[in-house]
């Protein structure tokens, strides 16, 4: 029985991905900053562990508690919507600490075991914001675009050791906690001069007919984790698929 470790499982994509892998018969390690098994299956094949991807000690403790894994899903992330002009650099660093450096730290931590066994899969969840430019998400897009480049290069680097690296690119999902999770840090990030632009963006989002469901992302992560080809990118959701085709 294979084992997957998924970061950011307290809600949204991570939680749904944990459910999906469990339903497929895998052993699942669902990690999150504040451990809670709420809305997750109660099963001997699913464990919840504490993990803060920005804390090296937390990473080491979580991996020690998890034991050998077959797949790492780097899903934990922070959303941000706002004008770059108004975004404090402390907030920029906070986003990169989780969305970029956290992914790199988790990846680096599992690589010795993967390389020694000459097997393993790393699935990095980014965003369709990397596929087409969108205003008011410059910092968020930059943090995710960095992982796109990182993943593409790492896939070549690790192929010789039998380790596969994949990207999952979710589209827009209004049901996720992207906005609510980042509400506090977004205060004041839409100055009056940018308000009309922000209103147009929100209006356009509200008119989207095909959006991404949490199940779309979970299924894309599942396909990526089990894909043995050289395919790198797995857009998730009808809108992300459309963007990927036009990119």
Tens of pLDDT, residues 10-66? 999 999 999 999 999 999 999 999 999 889 999 999 999 999 999 999 999 999 999
Q: Which residue, chain included where needed, has tokens 């991807």?
A: 53
Tens of pLDDT, residues 74-102? 999 999 999 999 999 999 999 999 999 99
For residue 143, give both structure tokens. 């943090």
Helices within 33-127 (DSSP H only): 56-66, 89-96, 103-117
For residue 146, give both structure tokens. 């960095």
Q: What is the spatial distance between Cα 64 and Cα 28, in angstroms, rounded to a whole number?
A: 15
Q: What is the spatial distance between Cα 145 and Cα 21, in angstroms, rounded to a whole number?
A: 26
Given this model, what pLDDT does residue 147 score? Answer: 98
3-state DSSP call for residue 236? Answer: strand
Helices within 35-102 (DSSP H only): 56-66, 89-96
How is the chain split into domains, by residue range? 3-246
Tens of pLDDT, residues 145-175? 999 999 999 999 999 999 999 999 999 876 5
140 classed as catalytic = yes
Q: What is the spatial distance between Cα 69 and Cα 63, in angstroms, rounded to a whole number?
A: 9
Q: What is the spatial distance between Cα 236 and Cα 168, in angstroms, rounded to a whole number?
A: 7
CATH of domain 3-246: 3.40.50.720
Choice among 13, 140, 172, 194 that is catalytic: 140
């Amino acid at each position: 029985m294979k084992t997957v470790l998924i970061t950011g499982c307290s809600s949204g994509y991570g939680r749904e991905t944990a459910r999906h892998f469990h339903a497929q018969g895998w052993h699942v390690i669902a990690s999150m900053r504040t451990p809670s098994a709420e809305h997750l299956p109660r099963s001997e094949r699913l464990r919840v562990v504490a993990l803060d991807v920005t804390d090296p000690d937390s990473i080491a403790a979580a991996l020690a508690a998890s034991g050998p894994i077959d797949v790492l899903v780097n899903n934990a992330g922070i959303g941000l919507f706002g004008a770059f002009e108004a975004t404090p650099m402390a907030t920029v660093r906070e986003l990169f600490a989780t969305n970029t450096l956290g992914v790199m730290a988790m990846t680096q931590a599992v690589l010795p075991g993967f390389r020694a066994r000459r097997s393993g899969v790393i699935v990095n969840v980014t965003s369709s914001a990397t596929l087409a430019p969108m205003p008011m998400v410059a910092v968020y897009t930059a943090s995710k675009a960095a992982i796109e480049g990182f993943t593409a290069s790492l896939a070549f680097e690790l192929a010789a050791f039998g380790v596969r690296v994949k990207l999952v690119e979710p589209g827009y999902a209004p049901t996720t906690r992207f906005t609510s999770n980042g509400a506090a840090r977004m205060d004041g990030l839409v100055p009056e001069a940018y308000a009309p632009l922000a209103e147009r963006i929100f209006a356009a989002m509200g008119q989207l007919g095909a959006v991404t469901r949490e199940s779309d992302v979970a299924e894309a992560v599942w396909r990526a984790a089990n894909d043995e080809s050289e395919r790198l990118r797995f857009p998730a959701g009808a809108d992300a698929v459309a963007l990927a085709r036009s990119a």
